[in-house]
């Protein structure tokens, strides 16, 4: 009877303890792995949010700027002055640093325009372009300088980066006329009469941005994270060549 009681009171064997520790280790490792995955995905989602916010801030800035394109210009005060549009007008009103020519160049990855962006009475020359500085092939950059007397197409530039790691570098901007037809034949600028009149017919500008961060891999898809943002702005196109256009400042 004494030996039987001692056998009952001996407790767990070493093998049983090791087995329990092994099970606990496996369970703990699995839990820690899941926690790490959750943390990684949370970090990835935060980076996506940051990239989205960066793109949104750019679009908001662009909308604020483009809504001032063409303010002020001569056609807002006298639609008869200067006669019919021609490139020769550049020697008079278009080159005047006190007047904004409005949209001066449009392309799928670039847009140039003039306007009083700061609301201080001075005209600024602004450009939004991929790799405007020539040193960042995947950067969407912005240039803003005070307009100097001279051609709107040859103003000085002062580049700052707005959005990094842009994927769709050749399909950022799409332009539509008031009747909804898409503007084709890009690039266009005001150096020719036909180019200036087509630019003056632009009513809506669509922006499509896709940003890819190659340094961060989505733990679910195993692909670099991507963020897309689209926006659209309808503008009162106060272009110097806008005489007769339904949406002009006339």
What does pLDDT average to in each consecutive run of 10 residues of the chain (250 residues)?
56 75 78 67 71 81 90 69 58 84 93 90 94 91 94 92 86 92 94 88 92 77 81 84 56
Whether 145 contacts 139, CB under 8 Å = no
Residue 7's pLDDT is 53
Whether 151 contacts 90, CB under 8 Å = yes
CB-based contacts of 204, cutoff 8 Å, min separation 6: 175, 176, 232, 233, 234, 235
Is 208 within the bounds of a domain?
A: yes
Residue 184's pLDDT is 94
Is 90 within the bounds of a domain?
A: yes
Is 12 within the bounds of a domain?
A: no
Q: Is the pTM of this model over 0.85?
A: no
Whether 40 contacts 220, CB under 8 Å = no
Is 173 within the bounds of a domain?
A: yes
Per the structure, the count of domains in the chain is: 1
Q: Determine the structural domain holding residue 59 and report its residue range.
A: 36-234
Is 242 within the bounds of a domain?
A: no
The DSSP result for 33-81, as a single string, is HHHHHHHHHHHHHHHHHHHHHHHHHHHHHHHHHHTTBT-S-GGGT-TTT
Is 250 within the bounds of a domain?
A: no
Compute, in degrees rounded to 10, the torsion defined by CA atoms 57, 200, 120, 96: 140
Instruction: State both tokens at 193.
Output: 């009469």
């Amino acid at each position: 009877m004494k030996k039987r009681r001692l056998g009952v009171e001996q407790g767990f064997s070493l093998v049983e303890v090791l087995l329990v520790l092994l099970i606990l280790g496996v369970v703990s490792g699995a839990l820690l792995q899941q926690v790490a995955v959750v943390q990684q995905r949370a970090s990835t989602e935060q980076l996506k949010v940051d990239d989205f916010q960066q793109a949104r801030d750019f679009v908001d800035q662009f909308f604020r700027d483009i809504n001032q394109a063409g303010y002020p210009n001569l056609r807002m005060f006298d639609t008869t002055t200067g006669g019919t549009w021609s490139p020769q007008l550049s020697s008079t009103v278009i080159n005047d640093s006190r007047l904004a020519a409005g949209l001066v160049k449009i392309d799928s990855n670039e847009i140039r325009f003039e306007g009083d962006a700061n609301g201080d009475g001075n005209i600024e020359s602004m450009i939004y372009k991929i790799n405007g500085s020539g040193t960042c092939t995947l950067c969407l950059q912005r240039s803003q300088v005070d307009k100097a007397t001279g051609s709107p197409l040859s103003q000085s530039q002062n580049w700052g980066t707005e959005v990094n790691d842009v994927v769709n570098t050749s399909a950022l901007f799409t332009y539509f006329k008031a009747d909804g037809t898409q503007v084709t034949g890009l690039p266009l600028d005001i150096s020719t009469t036909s180019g200036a009149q087509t630019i003056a017919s632009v009513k809506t500008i669509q922006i499509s941005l896709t940003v890819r961060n190659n340094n961060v891999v989505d733990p679910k898809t195993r692909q670099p994270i991507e963020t897309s943002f689209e926006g659209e702005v309808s503008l009162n196109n106060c272009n110097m060549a806008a005489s007769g256009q339904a949406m002009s400042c006339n």
